[in-house]
Amino acid sequence: MHSEKIPELSAKAKLKFDEARGKPVLLFPEGLLFLNQTAYRILLLCDGRRTLSEIITELAKDFSADRVAMGKDVWEFLLALHEKGLVQFH
């Protein structure tokens, strides 16, 4: 696991709440992604200060979920966004 990596939204990505649709979205130059509440919560925590490990611990506690399973899902989600240039790791 890459637990000490620090994820952060890239400069071209903006996390917003679409009031008209009542859903969180991730805006970027090529389009937008509608987010479920879990994805939205993950991205809110990607502030460039918290490590991946800290984010996973907080999410596992918030959702009363298994930390290992949560970690795998969070990593895969962030890695997919990283490959699209929407999340960067420090």
Map out the domains of the chain as residue ranges. 7-89
What is the pLDDT at residue 1?
A: 52
Tell me, what DSSP letter sits at residue 84? T
What is the pLDDT at residue 38?
A: 93
Distance (Å, rounded) from C-alpha 2 to C-alpha 6?
9
Q: What is the pTM of this model?
A: 0.91
pLDDT digits (tens, 9 = 90+) for 24-82: 999 999 899 999 999 999 999 999 999 999 999 999 999 999 999 999 999 999 999 99
What is the pLDDT at residue 2?
A: 79
Q: Please give the torsion angle defined by the CA atoms of residues 88, 76, 6 and 41, in that order, rounded to the nearest 10 degrees.
A: 100
pLDDT digits (tens, 9 = 90+) for 4-13: 999 999 999 9
Distance (Å, rounded) from C-alpha 60 to C-alpha 40?
15
Give 7-89's CATH code, choosing from 3.40.50.970, 1.10.10.1150, 1.20.120.160, 3.30.505.10.
Answer: 1.10.10.1150
What is the pLDDT at residue 30?
A: 85
Residue 12 structure tokens:
């071209």
HSE toward the beta carbon, residue 37, CA cutoff 13 A = 4
